[in-house]
Amino acid sequence: NAGVTQTPKFQVLKTGQSMTLQCAQDMNHNSMYWYRQDPGMGLRLIYYSASEGTTDKGEVPNGYNVSRLNKREFSLRLESAAPSQTSVYFCASSEHQMNTEAFFGQGTRLTVV
């Protein structure tokens, strides 16, 4: 089983450029999440999708958009990248929102210069 697959693994963007981070899971999970991880701040939720067809803002949604393309795929888009968006991004999925294990991808290290 591949679990949660994120692409790309590394990316360097110039300020103002746009890009989409892709995420797919093969576990038939209902819920999917995008987090960013910065030193000393743990994981902060950007957006989540409790089920196919729904998306909601998390703790730090500004500057990002998401699409739950189908049950498997949940993409994160940066329309106009800023240096403050330099971070490691993790996609995760879980069977449901409540009281279930979250499975994480390997992360995307994004640098905005």
> What does the binding site for other proteins look like in residue numbers (CB under 8 A)?
4, 33, 35, 40-45, 48, 58-59, 90, 92, 97-99, 101-107
Rounded Cα distance, 9 and 107, in Å:
6
- Using the minimum distance from each CB to other proteins, give the nearer residue, 42 or 53: 42
Rounded Cα distance, 69 and 87, in Å:
24
Rounded Cα distance, 71 and 112, in Å:
30
Q: How far is the CB of 78 from other proteins (least distance, A)?
A: 20
Q: How far is the CB of 80 from other proteins (least distance, A)?
A: 25
Q: How far is the CB of 16 from other proteins (least distance, A)?
A: 29
- Using the minimum distance from each CB to other proteins, give the nearer residue, 44 or 72: 44
Angle at 96 between CA 91 and CA 97, to 5 degrees: 75
Q: How far is the CB of 97 from other proteins (least distance, A)?
A: 5
Report the DSSP pairing between strands 87-94 and 74-78: unpaired
- Using the minimum distance from each CB to other proteins, give the nearer residue, 11 or 17: 11
- Using the minimum distance from each CB to other proteins, give the nearer residue, 84 or 100: 100
Rounded Cα distance, 73 and 25, in Å:
7
